[in-house]
A and B are shown apart, each in its own frame.
Chain A
Amino acid sequence: MFIEIKGAKKQYGTGEAAVYALDGVDFSLERGKICVILGPSGSGKSTLLNMIGGLDSLDAGEIVVDGQRISGLSQKARTAYRRRSIGFVFQFYNLIPDLTVEENVQVVAEIAEAPLDMDEILAALDIEKYRYRFPRELSGGQQQRVAIARAMVKNPRLLLCDELTGALDTRSSRSVLRFIEKINRQYGTTTLIITHNEAIAGLADTVVRIRDGRIASAEENGEKRSADEIEL
């Protein structure tokens, strides 16, 4: 398995204010697959993504990605893990406002061990013509494509997408999902998408439902569709 999670627990706050964001999550995913994790707000899906991405640490349990045990890594080792293995795409893009499109991508390319060709990525995501623009000069859909380019340029083993269409209109959402699909196909990147949007589950090879910090269900998607086929 590419991702294996066993008994993952994470608690925020203490005493009466304690909230179990993850309460014994067990989950696995094969390499090269697209997995969509569905769940309502506060269900723990973002926490799970942060744990897999090495942004936060578990209180208990274990996460193994591509044979590497993530839980228990030092801050420095987690930084190296993120640098080598993980591409992030966030709902609100989180681009660096003082850098142009090209520079936002380049900043990651400069630290990657084997970066992909930046021009190729920009062309693949159809944002080449905006390369000298700053994030605030772009639409939401365009910014999200820059965020995907930034995540992909390092050729990550795992692409983590947190509500990547949450701030986009239907047209932009479809466009972005098309690119996710294309990247998965073209580079074989294992992709994990967390979302509220049930429709996006149509893209997935595996659909996981999470509720109150626990996995409610995890199923193979027998009716996988393309981005153009799903109803957003």
Chain B
Amino acid sequence: MKLNKRYARSIGANLPFYVSASVLTMVTLLMFYLFYIAGTGINAYGDAFFEEYRLEDATFSTYAEIPDEDVPALEREFGVTLEKERFAGVDEGAYRVRVFVPNRKIDRYEIQTGREPASDDEILISAGYAEENGVSPGDPVVIKGKTYTVAGTFLRPDYLYMVENVTDDYKNVTTFFLAYMTPAEFEAQFGGGSVNNKVVYGENADELAFRRRVNDRYFLSGYLPAESNMRITFVHEQADMFVMSSWFILVIFPFLTVALVCILLGRRIRAEQKLIGTLSAMGCERSRLMLHYSLFAVIPGVVGGLLTAAAALILARPFGSIGLADYEPMRPDFTLPVWIAAAGVVVPTLIYFAAAMLRVRSLLKVETVRLLSGQVGSDAKSRRILSRKKTSVRRKFAVRQLVGSPGRSMVVFLGIFLGAMIVAFAFSFIDSVKAVGDQAHGEFGTFRYEYVLNELKSGRPSGGEAVLALPYEDGDGSRFTLMGLDADAKLWNLTTVEGERADPEHGFYVSTLCAAMFGVHRGDEFTFRSIATLEEHTVRIDGVIRNGYQSYVLTSREKAAEIAGLDPDRYNAVLSDRALDYAGDEVAEIVSDTTYQTQMENMMRAMGGLIYAFMIIGVIVCIASLYATINTMITENGHSISMLKVLGLENRRIDSMILSANHLLLIPGIALGTAAAYGVMAWYCAEFVEIERIMIPATLSPKSILFTALITAGGYAASLLLLRRKVGRADMIEALKDGRE
């Protein structure tokens, strides 16, 4: 059919539209692809690694060590796999090391570089630290005064997210690492060391019965199920977050983009109504015309989809690697599933095809005479706006452009909205993470140091305030800390969400994080159990203390001790406003007032690339969508633009008539896009409570709002600037010829 010769010719004439529509389709689909690839890649790697290296179901410690000969009997009786893991902590000043004897059954390691130690002078170290600090096989490392040679680096399944303490909120691979020594060397250096027990429950194993037996015989001092161990859960939780984000992105951005391209396609087809009318008048069948225009419409879908698939193949590895920033150096296989790639081409293509087909169909329902006169789609009512008002024609024209074409105005608005939303979301993420660093310690209290001790002490510490802090869990095994303070405690934050001072001497209080995690409120009864004895306790909650970073139930030291079955003067943590002199082996963990800030700074450093990539995508979406829309607007107004030039109006004046009306959309577009971004961030932060176990305050600073507005307005101005040339190039002679049609 000769008509089909228009394809090649028309593509050239409408190249800016096809390019911008294809870029829009590509950029938004790419965001979905990359998040999806990162999430599924990490999940698949985690599943395989956990299975191959036999991930624990729980780690526990006992006051009395389980004798080696009891292990097989426990395994048989309860259908579990049990292994004792020997370890020791060493503080070398510049770095801290947790040294292990290799396990045989549970949480085995995988060599990443180098080889197994061949002698007692060789060690393996964790791969994340080695990579971060440039330590390679053959390099020396000093532990407890002895220089060892690094034989290789490793990963282990219960340390894929390298938090030093399970209560930390962000990894530490700069000053903390794991090491494996030969059993003989470990014995020589540390004697027996400390012991943790690793357990994997069989299919029919009774976990509670096993824990009761262990507690009865060996007195449980700690029990940490894998699902409460952030070093383990983080793998799937962050990956799930990527996958969830990908579907969220898919629902919001490609949907809006596809809708935007469909609107533009519809308008472009409407602009061809005279030709459609002519062809119809000449007897061209409806189905043929529908097919003809629908094939034009598939171009952005096919090109965008194919470009996306190609870009995803190229970017999957580098982008996925950004997603890996928080983990130990895992090597997931980031691949784009064929069905997703195919869907990325087929779905938008079909939607564009259908949109064009429906538009032509609706046009052909109109009388041919109206098509030939080009009157379809003109809104006579909106034209009359301000027609009797004494104001400048430029203003009247601009207002009619805006109100008279709600679809077109909506598309411009969507472009601004989308761009502002993505940019503001990126800023909000940065602000929220910074807010954690800035606010967290203030919500803890006024102490500068918190010393978590390795053992229970009695009485009152010198130079600090005593705290009894014990892990408890709810019926689902989710953890929190039962905290006991003295009546005269001053260093812990006791301000409730109502702004009152909590009275732990006479009641029980939960932190806001604890309240969110367990769904308890003031006046509720909260039932929890000891992780050792599994004994249940129910307390009435008298208030909520503002602290979104720690999950705790707070009461007096006496009441906490009573619940734990301890003497009332026992404590195991000390708060102080100055550094205290504790021996290294007395302290399990030190939290300082800058700990959170440092952790959040590390987090931003690791995730910065992802966030700024997101921001750039926002700017591209903004420019591409506005370019496509305003380009269509100029095409639609081509005749008027040319005529205004003939009449002697300068380009600047024509610009202001045709384009300036859209400036009005900048303010609501940016305002609503920014508000939407804040809403999305608030949702994201709420999801974070489950994953990261901290309440990140959704934050968007005035400075970020200003930058969002400037960047979005900059993108808008850039697209206008690109298109101003098009106004300047409008062909006056051709426009006069058009007028003769």
A residues with a Cβ closer than 8 A to B are 50, 53, 55-56, 75-76, 79-84, 86, 88, 90-94, 96-100, 103, 106-108, 110-111, 132, 134, 136, 150, 154, 162
B167 close to A (CB within 8 Å): no
- Minimum CB distance partner of B375 in chain A: A136
Residue B646 is within 8 A (CB to CB) of chain A in the complex? yes
Q: Chain B: interface secondary structure?
A: helix
With most chain B CB atoms within 10 A of its CB, the pick from A75, A79, A134 is A79
B521 at interface by CB-CB < 8 Å: no
B-chain residues with CB within 8 Å of residue A98 when the two chains form the complex: 383, 397, 400-401, 404, 640
CB contact between A84 and one of B397, B646, B648 (< 8 Å): that residue:
B648
Closest Cβ neighbor of B639 among chain A residues: A94
Residue numbers in B under 8 Å from A83 (CB-CB): 647-650
Contacting residue for B650 out of A79, A103, A106, A107, CB 8 A: A79
A94 B739 Cβ-Cβ under 8 A = yes
Kindly provide the distance from the CB of A180 to the nearest chain B CB, expressed in whole angstroms.
18
Measured CB to CB, the closest approach of chain B to A159, in angstroms, equals 13
Q: Is A82 touching B647 in the complex (CB atoms < 8 A)? A: yes
Q: Which B residues are in CB contact (< 8 Å) with A100?
A: 387
Question: Considering only CB atoms, which chain B residue lies closest to A92 in the complex?
Answer: B739
A110 to chain B, nearest CB (A): 6
Contact A99:B397 (CB < 8 A) given known A79-B648, A82-B646: yes
Whether B736 and A90, one on each chain, are in contact in the complex, defined by CB atoms closer than 8 angstroms, is yes
Q: How many residues of B contact A (CB 8 A)?
A: 33
- Chain B residues closer than 8 Å to A56, beta-carbon distance: 732-733
Q: How far is the CA of A80 from the CA of B652 in the complex (A)?
A: 13
Q: Enumerate chain B interface residues (CB-CB to A < 8 A).
A: 375, 378, 380, 383, 387-388, 392-394, 396-397, 400-401, 404, 639-640, 643-651, 653, 728, 732-733, 735-736, 739-740
Q: Which of A75, A86, A94 contacts B643 (CB 8 A)?
A: A94
B393 and A107 form a contact (CB under 8 A):
yes
B645 and A79: CB pair below 8 A? yes
What are the 8 tightest A-B residue pairs by CB atom distance, in nearest-first order? A83-B648, A82-B648, A107-B393, A92-B739, A94-B739, A103-B393, A55-B732, A106-B393
- The interface residues of chain A lying within 8 Å CB-to-CB of B392 are 110
The answer to whether residues A107 and B647 also contact, given A50-B733, A99-B396, A99-B397 and a CB cut-off of 8 A, is yes
Residue of A nearest to B641 (CB): A96
Q: Which single member of B378, B728, B736 contacts A94 (CB below 8 Å)? A: B736
Which residue on chain B has the smallest CB distance to residue A50?
A: B733
Q: How far is the CB of B726 from chain A (nearest CB, A)?
A: 15
| B393:A110 contact, CB within 8 angstroms | yes
Report the bound CA distance from A104 to B127 in whole Å.
Answer: 75
> What is the minimal beta-carbon distance from A108 to any residue of chain B, in angstroms?
5
Least CB distance from B225 to A in Å reads: 70
Whole-angstrom CA separation of A184 from B650 in the bound complex: 28
Greatest chain A CB density within 10 A among B375, B378, B648, B733 is at: B648
Residues of A within 8 A of B640 (CB): 96-98
Q: Is the CB of B740 within 8 A of A92?
A: yes
Closest chain B residue, CB of each to CB of A87:
B647
List B contacts of A86 (CB < 8 A): 648
Contact of B387 among A80, A103, A110, A162 (CB under 8 A): A103
Shortest distance in angstroms between A13's beta carbon and chain B's nearest beta carbon? Answer: 14
Beyond A55-B733, A79-B650, A81-B648, 12 additional contacts (C-beta under 8 Å) are: A82-B647, A82-B648, A91-B740, A92-B740, A99-B397, A103-B393, A106-B393, A110-B392, A110-B393, A110-B394, A132-B387, A150-B647
In the complex, residue of chain A having the shortest beta-carbon distance to the beta carbon of B378: A97
Q: State A197–B269 Cα separation when bound (angstroms).
A: 38
Contacts of B404 in A (CB 8 A): 98
**How far does the alpha carbon of A83 sit from the alpha carbon of B740 in the complex, in Å?**
23
Least CB distance from B496 to A in Å reads 62
**Distance to closest chain B CB from A158 (angstroms):** 12
Chain B residue at minimal CB-CB distance from A108: B647
- The answer to whether A96 and B648 touch across the interface, beta carbons within 8 angstroms, is no
Contact check, B383 vs A90: say whether CB atoms are below 8 A apart: no
Are B383 and A111 in touch, CB under 8 angstroms?
no
Q: Are the C-beta atoms of B649 and A96 separated by less than 8 Å?
A: no
Q: How many Å from the CB of B406 to the closest CB on chain A?
A: 15
Min distance, Cβ B678 to any Cβ of chain A, angstroms: 38
A90 with B393: CB separation less than 8 A: no
- Residues of B within 8 Å of A88, CB to CB, are 646-647
Q: What residue of chain B has the Cβ atom nearest to residue A86's Cβ?
A: B648
Q: 29 A-B pairs, CB-CB below 8 angstroms? A: A50-B733, A55-B732, A55-B733, A56-B733, A75-B728, A80-B648, A82-B646, A83-B648, A83-B649, A90-B736, A91-B740, A92-B740, A94-B643, A94-B739, A97-B378, A97-B640, A98-B383, A98-B401, A98-B640, A103-B396, A103-B397, A107-B644, A107-B649, A111-B649, A111-B653, A132-B388, A134-B380, A134-B383, A136-B375
The listed residue with most B CB atoms (<10 A of its CB), out of A84, A136, A154, is A136
Inter-chain CA distance A108–B648, complex, in Å, is 8
A88 to B647, CA, bound (A): 7
Alpha-carbon gap, A97 to B400, bound state (A): 12
Residues of B within 8 A of A107 (CB): 393-394, 397, 644, 647, 649
Contact A55:B646 (CB < 8 A) given known A99-B396, A134-B383: yes
Residues of A with C-beta under 8 A to B644: 96, 107
Least CB distance from B670 to A in Å reads 28
**CA of A64 to CA of B154 in the docked complex: distance in angstroms?**
87
A82 to B649, CA, bound (A): 9
| Docked pose: A93 CA to B741 CA in angstroms | 12
Q: Which residue of B lies closest to A150 (CB)?
A: B647
When distances are taken between beta carbons in the complex, the residues of chain B under 8 Å from A134 are: 380, 383
Residue of B nearest to A78 (CB): B648
From B382, which residue of chain A is reached at the shortest CB distance? A98
Q: Are A99 and B393 in contact (CB under 8 A)?
A: yes
Chain B residues near A97 (CB-CB < 8 A): 378, 640
* Interchain CA distance A94-B733 in the complex, whole Å: 12
Q: How far is the CB of B741 from chain A (nearest CB, A)?
A: 8
Contact B383 A94 (CB under 8 A): no
Task: Provide the bound-state CA to CA distance between A97 and B404, in Å.
Answer: 13
**A82 surroundings in chain B (CB, below 8 A):** 646-648
B735 proximity list for chain A (CB < 8 A) = 94
Chain B residues near A132 (CB-CB < 8 A): 387-388
Which chain B residues lie closer than 8 Å to A110 at the CB level? 392-394
Instruction: Closest B residue to A163 by CB, please name it.
Output: B740
Q: How far is the CA of A211 from the CA of B653 in the complex (A)?
A: 39
Q: How far is the CA of A134 from the CA of B387 in the complex (A)?
A: 9
Say how far B418's CB is from chain A's closest CB, in angstroms: 28
